[in-house]
Structure 1
Amino acid sequence: MITCDQHDYVEIACLFQYPVRLHMRAGEAIEGIAVNTCLNEAREECIELNQHGHHRLVALDQVASLEVRVENPHFQQVSFHKRF
């Protein structure tokens, strides 16, 4: 679970539909347009990405950092530290 402050950054990315790169804890990177936050079927908190017209849910617990791929007045990158 991420903190409320960290969740705010995810919501900003979705509100402005920023192109983002998610750096995953497992080492891979996932790119897409941030669209929404939601719960998946396993009730995990997710970010919904639009990847060339296909929507993908990515569990936020698996994300190490979120990088915005365009200049903007809000933020460029946020790191997610696991909260216990």
Structure 2
Amino acid sequence: MSNVISCAKYDYFEIACIHHYEVELTLKSGELVSGIAQNVKTVRHQDERKEILEITHDNKNIEVELIQICKLNVLTDNPHFNEVILDK
């Protein structure tokens, strides 16, 4: 199983962070996580590369691994995109 998503899908997260969009994430577990997109980064953990989305919600920082996200909804009106399906 890959620990990274495609470059094309990664770009959507970068756009959301650049514009600090309010987002709602649907995780593979079924959990919903929402907040303001802040940063997307790649980190190394035990010789594995992981891509992380940082969001803020109620003044708390939340980190979500991109491969755990199955859907990205943008709640902020914007000309770029509203929804991205990453994985079922």
TM-score, normalization by structure 2: 0.85
The answer to which of 8-17 and 42-51 deviates more is 42-51
> Equivalents in 2 of 1:78, 1:5: separation in Å?
11
1:46 maps onto 2:52 in alignment: yes
Q: What does 1:7-46 correspond to in 2, within 5 Å?
A: 7-40=10-43, 42=45, 43-46=49-52
Structure 1 residue ranges without an equivalent (≥5): none
Encode CA deviations 1:38-79: one digit per residue, 9 max, x unaligned: 235634211000112111110001000100002110000101
Rg (Cα) greater in structure: 2
Cα contact 1:40–1:57 (8 A) shared by 2: no
- Number of residue pairs aligned between Structure 1 and Structure 2: 82
Q: Equivalent pairs: percent with the same residue? A: 38
> Equivalents in 1 of 2:18, 2:76: separation in Å?
14
Q: CA RMSD in A?
A: 1.5
Cα contact 1:67–1:78 (8 A) shared by 2: yes
Name whichever structure is richer in strand by fraction: 2
Give the residue type in structure 2 aligned to 1:48: E
The one of 62, 75, 81 equivalent to 2:81 is: 75
Give the residue type in structure 2 aligned to 1:5: A
> Equivalents in 2 of 1:4, 1:68: separation in Å?
19
Structure 2 residue ranges without an equivalent (≥5): none
